[in-house]
Structure 1
Amino acid sequence: MPAYWIAHVTVTDPSRYTGYQSLAPQAFAKFHAKFLARGRSSDALEGPIYQRHVLIEFPDLESARACYASPEYQAAKAERAGAAEVMITITEGL
């Protein structure tokens, strides 16, 4: 059963955020992630407003969790620290 990362992101320091952008794809490739949405155009109907919204599909919940915990993603996350406001949820698909 597929699983998904739902991420909401507001970049606060674009030059520092490039470190995350250069490292994160390695983690996503390793865990067979497929980007379904990565857009800026959106309507925030409830809750906080973020600049970007990302929907990433993984083969299963275990892969989604393993990707987040992986050394590759944690290195990317460390590069992102202080450069963006982020909310990420992992959820099981139907």
Structure 2
Amino acid sequence: MKAYWIAHVDVTHPVQYAEYTQRGPAAFARYGGKFLARGGRAEALEGRKTPQRTVIIEFESYEQALACYHSAEYQEAMSHRHGVAQAEIVIVEGFEG
């Protein structure tokens, strides 16, 4: 069953954040992640204010999504995000309909 990584990100230092965006995709690819949304227009209709970036990544399974997050490759990429962006990341399991 597929799973989705949903991230809301507010970037405070765009130049430094680019270090993260250059490294992260290699980890996603290694774990079969496929970008479905990466930035672009968004509008919060309820709840918190609209984040600067919303990212949705599809994985073949919940386990792959978790493994990607905890991988050495992603953790190294994520170290470049600390202090230059605030992120909320949720992994959610899909359903078969």
TM-score for both structures, normalised by structure 1 = 0.95
Unaligned runs of 5+ residues in structure 2 are none
1:90 Cα deviation (Å)?
A: 0.3
Instruction: Provide the identity percentage.
Output: 53
Matched, 1:53 2:51: no
1:10 Cα deviation (Å)?
A: 0.9
State the match for 2:29 in structure 1.
29
1:9 Cα deviation (Å)?
A: 0.7
Please identify runs of 4+ aligned residues in structure 1 that moved more than 3 A.
none
Matched, 1:71 2:79: no
- Cα deviation per residue 1:36-90 (whole Å; 9 max; x = unaligned)? 1113311111222211111110000000000000000000111100111110000
- Cα deviation per residue 1:17-49 (whole Å; 9 max; x = unaligned)? 011011101101100101111133111112222
Query: 1:40·1:51 contact (CA, 8 Å) conserved in 2?
Result: no
Unaligned runs of 5+ residues in structure 1 are none
State the match for 1:5 in structure 2.
5
